[in-house]
Amino acid sequence: MTRVYLVRHGRAAAGWNTDPDPGLDDLGRMQADGVARRLAPLGPLALVSSPLLRCRETAAPLAGEWGVDARVEPAVAEIPSPEGVAMADRVEWLRAAMAGTWSALGAPYTAFRDGVVAAVAGLGEDTVVCSHFIAINAVIGAAVGDDRLVIRSLDNCSVTVVDVAADGGLTLVEGGHEADTLIR
C-alpha cells in the first residue's frame, strides 16, 4: 500500500483571472512553511509538484527540510480553461464548472481528471504531492466514486491523504481541511 499526501498549494499572489502562473503571497509562504513543519516528521518521502509556480513554492520548504528535489509532474497541474476563454473570463467559467460534474464538462476534462488520477495511482512509494484544488478533488472523486468537480472545499495547504492499492485503487484516508475558498 502506498500512502499519498496531497497538499493544496498555499495562497497565490494573484487571481486566476489576472495571472496564469502566480507565486505565493506572504500568507501563502507562511502556509507552505507550516505544512512543511507538519509533514517533515514523515520523511524524507518522494516529493512531487505541479509545474505551476505556486505549487513549486509550496513544495520548496519541505524539499529543503528533507534535502530532496521535488519532481515536477505536469499531470497534477491545474484544470485548464477552455480554448478561447479570455483571461478575465476564466473565473466565471471555473465557478460554473465547479458547480457541475466531470461528465458534463466532456471528454477533454474527463481526460484531464483521468490523467491526474492515473499519476497519483501510479506512485510506487509514499509521496507528498503539491497540487491544486480541482486536481485533488479529482483524486477524492475517484476514491469515493463521485463525478462532481468539487467534493471538498479544500483550504490552502490542506493535506488530503489517500492510499493506493497494488491494483491502483484509491482509498480516501483523510480529507483535507476545508474552508470557504475564494476563487479569484
* CA 96/CA 11 separation, integer angstroms: 22
* CA 35/CA 47 separation, integer angstroms: 13
Q: Yes or no: say if 154 and 168 are a contact pair by the CB < 8 Å rule.
A: no
pLDDT digits (tens, 9 = 90+) for 79-118: 998 888 887 888 889 999 999 999 999 999 999 999 999 9
Return the half-sphere exposure (C-beta side, CA atoms, 13 A cut-off) of residue 101: 6
pLDDT at residue 73 in the model:
98
Collapsed DSSP state (helix, strand, coil) of residue 45? coil
pLDDT at residue 87 in the model:
77
* CA 171/CA 139 separation, integer angstroms: 10
pLDDT at residue 127 in the model:
98
Q: Yes or no: say if 99 and 124 are a contact pair by the CB < 8 Å rule.
A: no
Domains of the chain, with CATH numbers? 12-174 (3.40.50.1240)
pTM: 0.96
pLDDT digits (tens, 9 = 90+) for 47-85: 999 999 999 999 999 999 999 999 999 999 999 988 888
170-174 and 159-164 strand pairing:
antiparallel
Q: Yes or no: say if 52 and 39 are a contact pair by the CB < 8 Å rule.
A: no
pLDDT digits (tens, 9 = 90+) for 139-178: 999 999 999 999 999 999 999 999 999 999 999 999 999 9
Q: Which amino acid is at 102?
A: W
Residue with cell 514523515: 42
Read off the DSSP letter of residue 137: H
- When pLDDT is cut at 50, 70 and 90, the band that residue 181 belongs to is low
